[in-house]
C-alpha cells in the first residue's frame, strides 16, 4: 500500500559512505590547487588542454564526489529511498571512479587514445550503474516531494552527461569519426553544469533551506516545475542544436533567467528565515547564490559581446557557486551525522555538533573561500596572483580534508572509548 523504506530505523547509510566521498572530493580539490600552480593563467582560456584538465578535476573529481556523498545521504532522508548494501555500492562506485578520473586526466594530458578508452570504461561502469539504481529507486516511489522529483531529473541529466561524454571520448580515442563532436560537446557541458550540478543543488535546496534555516517553503510553481523546465529546455536545445546551433542563444537566455530567478528567490528565502543566527553555512549559501547571479549576468553579457575576461569571470563565478553550496552542506552534514550516528548508537558521550566542527572553524573556512574567489578574480588582471589563488585552493580543500579526518577520528574514538546506553529496550 505504501513505501516504508524512507521511514525505516536504519534509514541513514553508514557514516563511512558519506565521509569517504567527501574525503576523495577534498583530495581532488587539493589536486586542483596543485594543477593551478602548474598551469597558471592558461586555465582561463577554455580552449587549452590545461583548462580542460582543471575543469574535469573540478567537475568530476571534486563535484561528483561531493554529490555522491550528498546523494547517498539525502536519498534516504528526503526522498525516502533506501539503497541496499550501501557500503558495497559505495566501493563499487568509488574505486573505479577515482581510477577513471585519473585516467581521463592523463588521457587529456598525453592524448593517448587507449587511455580515453580506459577512462570511458572505468567512469561509465562506475557512474552509470549507480545512476540507474538510484533512478530506479526514485521511480518506484509512490509519493514524491519536489526534492525527490528534482533529484530524479538531476540524475537523469547525469546519465545524459556521461553518455554524451562517451561519444566525445570515443571520438578522441579514434573509435568513431565524431561528426557531431562540437554539438555534443556543447550539450555535454550544458547538461553537466545546468542539468546536473545546478539542478541537483536546486533540488536539494528545496528541502534543506527550509530544513536547516526554517524558512517559508518555495512556491509550488517553482519547486514543482523548475527542474522539469530546465531538463526539457536542455533536451530540446541539444536535439535542435545538432541541426541549428543558433538555438543555444535562446536557450541560454532562458537558462540565465530561470537560474537568476531561483538565486534571487533563495536569497529572499534566507532573509525570511525564522532562525535568527547567521552562521558560516548561511553565508556560504549567500556567497554561492550571489556567485550564481554574477555568473548568469556575465554569461548574459558574453551572449552579446564576446569578451574573454567576462567569459572567464562567468566560469569563476559558477565554480564559486557550486563550491560555496558544497561547503555550506558539508558544515551541516558532517557534524550532524557524527552526532546523529553516535547518539543513535546509544553513546551518551556523543559529541555535540559544535564539538565536531565549531562554527568558528567553519567561519575561518568561509574567509579562506572568499579570499580564494577574490584571488582568482584579481588574477585575471594581475596574472602573478594566480599563484596565491592556487595556494588558497590547496589551503581551502586541505582545511576541509582535515575536518573530515578530525570528525572521523573523533567518531572512532567515541566508538572505542565512549560510554553507552543499553539500546535494547528503545529499539
Q: Which residues bind another protein (CB under 8 A)?
A: 1-4, 6-9, 11, 77-78, 80, 143, 145, 207, 210-212, 214, 274-277, 332, 335-336, 339-340, 343-344, 352-355, 426-427
Contact 83, 6 (CB under 8 A): no
Closest CB to another protein among residues 277, 305: 277
Nearest distance, CB of residue 377 and another protein, angstroms? 33
> What is the CB neighbour count within 10 angstroms for residue 162?
21
> What is the CB neighbour count within 10 angstroms for residue 282?
18
Nearest distance, CB of residue 70 and another protein, angstroms? 15
Closest CB to another protein among residues 20, 149: 149
Measured distance CA(362)–CA(339) in Å, rounded: 17
**67 by DSSP, 3-state: which?**
helix
Nearest distance, CB of residue 372 and another protein, angstroms? 26
Nearest distance, CB of residue 15 and another protein, angstroms? 15
Nearest distance, CB of residue 403 and another protein, angstroms? 16
Closest CB to another protein among residues 82, 188: 82
Closest CB to another protein among residues 300, 359: 359
Pull the grid cell for residue 427. Answer: 529499539
Measured distance CA(397)–CA(333) in Å, rounded: 17
Q: Which region, left, alpha or beta, applies to residue 381 given φ > 0 means left and ψ of -120 to 50 means alpha?
A: alpha
Closest CB to another protein among residues 308, 423: 423
Q: How far is CA 199 from CA 150, 225, 387, in A?
A: 7, 12, 32
Nearest distance, CB of residue 71 and another protein, angstroms? 16
Closest CB to another protein among residues 11, 302: 11
Pull the grid cell for residue 251. Answer: 536557450
Q: How many residues does the chain have?
A: 427
Whose CA is closest to 336, among 324, 346, 344, 326?
344
Amino acid at each position: 500500500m505504501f513505501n516504508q523504506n524512507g521511514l525505516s530505523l536504519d534509514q541513514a547509510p553508514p557514516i563511512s559512505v558519506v565521509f569517504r566521498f567527501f574525503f576523495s572530493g577534498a583530495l581532488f580539490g587539493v589536486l586542483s590547487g596543485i594543477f593551478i600552480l602548474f598551469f597558471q593563467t592558461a586555465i582561463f582560456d577554455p580552449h587549452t588542454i590545461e583548462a580542460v584538465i582543471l575543469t574535469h578535476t573540478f567537475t568530476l573529481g571534486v563535484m561528483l564526489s561531493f554529490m555522491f556523498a550528498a546523494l547517498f545521504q539525502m536519498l534516504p532522508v528526503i526522498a525516502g529511498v533506501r539503497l541496499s548494501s550501501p557500503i558495497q555500492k559505495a566501493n563499487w562506485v568509488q574505486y573505479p571512479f577515482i581510477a577513471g578520473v585519473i585516467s581521463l586526466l592523463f588521457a587529456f594530458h598525453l592524448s593517448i587514445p587507449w587511455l580515453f578508452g580506459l577512462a570511458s570504461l572505468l567512469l561509465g561502469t562506475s557512474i552509470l550503474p549507480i545512476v540507474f539504481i538510484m533512478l530506479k529507486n526514485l521511480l518506484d516511489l509512490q509519493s514524491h516531494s519536489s526534492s525527490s522529483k528534482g533529484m530524479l531529473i538531476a540524475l537523469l541529466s547525469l546519465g545524459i552527461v556521461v553518455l554524451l561524454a562517451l561519444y566525445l571520448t570515443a571520438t578522441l580515442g579514434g573509435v568513431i569519426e565524431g561528426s557531431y563532436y562540437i554539438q555534443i560537446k556543447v550539450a555535454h557541458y550544458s547538461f553537466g553544469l545546468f542539468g546536473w550540478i545546478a539542478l541537483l543543488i536546486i533540488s536539494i535546496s528545496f528541502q534543506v533551506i527550509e530544513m536547516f534555516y526554517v524558512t517559508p517553503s518555495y512556491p509550488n510553481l517553482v519547486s514543482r516545475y523548475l527542474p522539469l523546465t530546465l531538463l526539457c529546455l536542455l533536451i530540446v536545445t541539444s536535439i535542435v542544436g545538432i541541426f541549428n546551433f543558433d538555438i543555444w542563444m535562446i536557450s541560454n537566455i532562458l537558462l540565465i533567467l530561470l537560474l537568476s530567478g531561483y538565486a534571487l528567490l533563495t536569497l529572499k528565502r534566507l532573509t525570511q528565515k525564522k532562525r535568527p543566527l547567521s552562521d558560516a553555512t548561511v553565508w556560504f549559501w549567500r556567497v554561492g547564490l550571489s556567485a550564481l547571479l554574477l555568473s548568469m549576468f556575465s554569461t548574459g553579457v558574453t551572449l552579446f559581446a564576446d569578451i574573454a575576461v567576462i567569459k572567464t569571470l562567468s566560469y569563476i563565478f559558477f565554480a564559486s557557486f557550486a563550491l560555496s553550496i558544497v561547503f555550506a552542506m558539508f558544515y551541516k552534514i558532517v557534524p550532524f551525522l557524527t552526532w546523529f550516528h553516535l547518539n543513535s548508537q546509544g553513546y551518551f558521550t556523543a559529541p555535540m555538533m559544535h564539538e565536531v566542527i565549531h562554527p568558528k572553524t567553519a567561519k575561518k573556512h568561509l574567509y579562506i573561500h572568499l579570499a580564494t574567489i577574490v584571488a582568482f578574480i584579481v588574477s585575471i588582471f594581475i596574472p602573478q596572483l594566480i599563484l596565491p589563488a592556487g595556494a588558497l585552493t590547496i589551503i581551502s580543500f586541505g582545511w576541509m580534508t582535515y575536518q573530515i579526518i578530525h570528525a572521523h577520528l573523533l567518531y572512532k574514538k567515541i566508538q572505542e572509548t565512549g560510554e553507552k546506553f543499553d539500546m535494547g529496550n528503545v529499539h
